[in-house]
Amino acid sequence: MLSDTSIRKAKPGDKPVKLADEKGLYLLIQPSGAKLWRQKYRFEGKEKLLAHGSYPEISLSEARSRRDEARTLLARGIDPAENRKAQKAARADRAANSFEVICREWLEKKRGEVASSTYAKMLARMENFVFPWLGDKPIGEVGAPAVLAVLRRVDENGARHTAHKVRSEISMAFRYAIATGRAERDPCPDLRGAIPSPKTEHMAAITSPKEAAELLRAIDAFRGTFVVRCALRLAPMLFVRPGELRKAEWSGFDLDKGEWRYLVTKTKTEHLVPLAPQAVAILRELQALTGTRPYVFPGRDPQKPMSDAAINAALRRMGYDTQREITGHGFRAMARTILHEELHIKPEVIEHQLAHRVPDTLGTAYNRTKFLRERRAMMQTWADYLDKLRSGADVVQLRDSA
């Protein structure tokens, strides 16, 4: 029988040397000096060989333990080498079907469907809140209790809204796994109500004509870069989503027709924004500076749009609290409220211009040309109304207090 002392003292030769232990186990010493554990055994009349690692990574006692496990399998009529192959294949299959692997596949698919910032946030939520606990589990073995434990951990950290986002994204990953034949059901519907609904938080917005007038005058007095000033002047007039404004490309504009066409990133639908002459005048002035570049509002790198923080940073420089008073997104709420309550524009026309999904009687979720005549008139009325607010003219409130 071998001992640790004899193994350590054993020297390599010009040819491989075998040092026998017992019950088929031996140490193979290569000319290179490598010391490898091997076990000879017979199965169904054939001599076979099983590797048990190398010394000293695998100690003598560990090698003997592995030999005995192999002999136990033989006694049960199982080929240890084939058993090892099957276990390795099973581990590979489990790894290939782990929650993290499948979820990353789904995220990669979503990358081309959502804004880059949205993809980055989804990936960060998974890496921070989900993968450490569910990542290495086969997706078919991830049940409602395991998902709930993840959600509660996020919720208990005071991030209830994030917990609901995570639940939705886990559910989408499961639906992708079902569609690709690697899971049978989504456990997330079983968890409805398990995490209380988050309190609704509305984006900060100014919705009274008086405050809107003060904001418009503050924008006129803003002394930032010309590009940011133009974006600030257009934001209340066009009331598109902030990301859509800052990523606007000249290729989508027809200033002669007074139109801007682009793809809404949130709904993947084509949208048309009628441009009042006031908006066209601002864009023509800006075109002289940035018209040869892809983006209407380029950032420091002329091949990229301006930062998503630029508008909010400008509002803060103007003295506005972007947590409680107004944000770049708040211009949409300002337009929606004042157009309806002060100018009596029909809600469906406003919602269509906001590019919201509002099904019509035919079941169409969105049609970029719907209400186009009314929307053109509305955008002109809105631009004129903003001019009057900015100049301090008396704007008659069309509704009484009732």
Q: CA 29, CA 333: separation in Å to the nearest integer?
A: 78
Strand 259-264 and strand 269-274: pairing?
A: antiparallel
Tokens for 83, please give them.
Answer: 């058993």
Q: How far apart are CA 311 and CA 317, in angstroms?
A: 10
Distances (CA, A) of 376 to 23, 238, 381: 91, 12, 9
Per-residue DSSP letter, 139: G
What distances in angstroms separate CA 81 from CA 23, 172, 269, one per listed residue? 16, 40, 57
Catalytic positions are 241, 266, 329, 332, 356, 366
Residue 224's Cβ-count burial label (10 Å; 0-12, 13-18, 19+) is: middle
Cα 18 to Cα 36: distance, rounded to the nearest angstrom = 9
CA distance 137 to 133: 8
Q: How far apart are CA 189 and CA 183, in angstroms?
A: 15
Question: CA–CA separation, 123 vs 11, rounded Å?
Answer: 53
Neighbours of 136 (CB within 10 A): 13
HSE-CB at 70 with a 13 A cutoff on CA atoms is: 25
Which residues, listed in sequence order, are joined to residue 374 by a DSSP beta bridge?
none
CA distances 180 to 29, 32, 102, 111, 130, Å, are 48, 48, 10, 18, 21
DSSP 151-195: HHHHHHTT-HHHHHHHHHHHHHHHHHHHHTTS-S--SGGGGTTTS
Q: How far is CA 314 from CA 50, 151, 232, in A?
A: 70, 36, 8
What is the DSSP track for 235-293?
A: HHHH---HHHHHT-BGGGEETTTTEEEEEETTTTEEEEEE--HHHHHHHHHHHHHHTTS
